[in-house]
Amino acid sequence: MRENHFDRRAVLASTTALAAAALMPGGASAQDTARGTAAPQSDALPARGEFVVRGAHVLTMDPNLGDLATGDVHVRDGAIAAVGVAVGAPGAEVIDGKGMICMPGFVDTHWHHWTTLLRPVMQADDPKRTYFPVTFALGLHYAPEDSYRSVRLGLAQALAAGVTTTHNWAHNVRSPAHADAEVRAMRESGLRGRFAYGPALGMANDQMMDFADIARLKKEIGSDPMLTLGINSRNVDGNLGGTRGAIDPAMAKKEWSAARELGLPITLHTSGSGAIKLLNEAGLLGPDLQLVHPLNTDAADWAALAKHDVRYSVSPLGEAGRSGEMQFPEIMQAGVKVSLSIDNVTAERCDCFACMRMLQTINRHRTGGKFKLTTRKLVEMATIDGAEDLGFADRTGSLTPGKRADLILVRTDEPHMGDIGDPYDALVQLAQPSDVDTVVVDGRILRRNGAFTALDYGKLLADAAQSVAALKTKANWS
Ligand SMILES: [Zn+2]
């Protein structure tokens, strides 16, 4: 894996002025430091520089701007200043984009970052060591520091794969300190994201989530352009209640009303039939609701979702291994907006390219291509559609001047890419995470030449290993 090539960091720092500048500490803006806890406490984030990407194949994902076969993107003060051919940017550092696709960073819309560090305990062919038993048995013993380390590790993996915005679906918030730990990890990572505050694993189904603390955190986050707050709800249908809890519509009404009073969006796992009907009957569907895993629903469900402007997040890599049909074609055809998610990197991989390709494959397999799903639409689902789902479309998801600069450069010169032809086709059919050369979030260059510019990935891994060892001891895991 390229991120393990620590020697490349040193080479990079000594040969590239921009990277050298990026490695300098003190990158937090006055706005960051004024927020107190927003200031990074470990790896200092690189400064927001001024730079221009020149000569890239630019996919803006903005229908008004279109694409440029050879174009420039000028970034200043964390924002996209200009996109065009031969953009004038005197004094700006030049990043050579030749042979690269420049596009918005990927937007993930559902990811349980707290489970990341449990990866070494997993084994796909041993039923006792798959995702649910492992995350439940060890998750019950998490200290806040374990949550922090896991989220840091997950976000590092996200960055390396070109994900610049994530929906941190925290369904093991064991105390206010655990919530704070996850939020701190998000802030220190430099990614943009929503923190979906959830229950603690193993919590009694008749116990309400801690809305006093959720209100406290909402106040603490305030109007941060990098970080927003929502809640994640326990399942309402009862079908998957064994390890994650299941609540009845009355409890859902109580919790969701409390969230809505705070103006917080809601997200919910909904594999299986029944939940959408229950929610619809209880009057709980709305545009502030995101559902996850569209499997085993029916036409009445799709109509209700479209009517109430509910969003769906599909996690293609995991869902393809579940029983039942992946129904995103029907759901999209019904007018429901669908975005992409990684879900977890405990059982799956962080690979948005593979997610797009899987959707294309499943669509062909299930509909024989009757549902038209273009490669451009797949890239939209992985970028601007995700930004819309999370309420971030005003600042990310497309390379639109005035939006914040969340972009990636994807190399096209590796042998597996060949002569790429159409760039959307190449992104879906050929590209892989190791092709992501450069990752910029909010104008900060967090990855360059396929390496972290400031983050010490080796330390994150070592810390995670320490946590896993302690968790295994606490849980008597052999
Ligand atoms: Zn999930």
Written as tens digits, the pLDDT of the chain (478 aa) is 333 333 333 333 333 333 333 333 333 333 333 333 444 445 689 999 899 999 999 999 999 999 999 999 999 999 999 999 999 999 999 999 999 999 999 999 999 999 999 999 999 999 999 999 999 999 999 999 999 999 999 999 999 999 999 999 999 999 999 999 999 999 999 999 999 999 999 999 899 999 999 999 999 999 999 999 999 999 987 554 556 788 989 999 999 999 999 999 999 998 767 889 999 999 999 999 999 998 889 999 999 999 999 999 999 999 888 888 888 999 999 999 999 999 999 999 999 999 999 999 999 998 998 999 999 999 999 999 999 999 999 999 999 999 999 999 999 999 999 888 999 999 999 999 999 999 999 999 999 999 999 999 999 999 999 999 999 999 999 8
Ligand 1 mean position, distance from CA 135 (Å): 12
Q: Check residue 325 and give its pLDDT.
A: 84
Relative to beta strand 192-197, strand 163-170 is parallel
Relative to beta strand 79-84, strand 311-314 is unpaired
Ligand 1 mean position, distance from CA 417 (Å): 32
Ligand 1 mean position, distance from CA 11 (Å): 39
Q: Which residue has tokens 């500490």?
A: 25
Ligand 1 mean position, distance from CA 245 (Å): 13
The C-alpha atoms of residue 166 and residue 42 are separated, in whole angstroms, by 21
Ligand 1 mean position, distance from CA 194 (Å): 14
Ligand 1 mean position, distance from CA 17 (Å): 41
Tokens describing residue 155: 């976000």
Measured in residues, the chain has a length of: 478
Ligand 1 mean position, distance from CA 39 (Å): 29
- For residue 110, the cross-strand partners are none
- For residue 451, the cross-strand partners are 448
| Continuous H helices in 203-349 | 211-221, 241-244, 249-261, 275-281, 299-307, 316-319, 328-333
Q: Check residue 94 and give its pLDDT.
A: 98
Q: Check residue 173 and give its pLDDT.
A: 98
Ligand 1 mean position, distance from CA 111 (Å): 6
Ligand 1 mean position, distance from CA 133 (Å): 15
Of 198, 182, 276, 200, residue with least CA distance to 230: 198
Ligand 1 mean position, distance from CA 226 (Å): 22
Ligand 1 mean position, distance from CA 112 (Å): 6
Ligand 1 mean position, distance from CA 281 (Å): 24
Ligand 1 mean position, distance from CA 24 (Å): 37
Write down the pTM of the prediction.
0.91
Q: Check residue 321 and give its pLDDT.
A: 85
Ligand 1 mean position, distance from CA 314 (Å): 10
Ligand 1 mean position, distance from CA 110 (Å): 6
Tokens describing residue 4: 């393990």
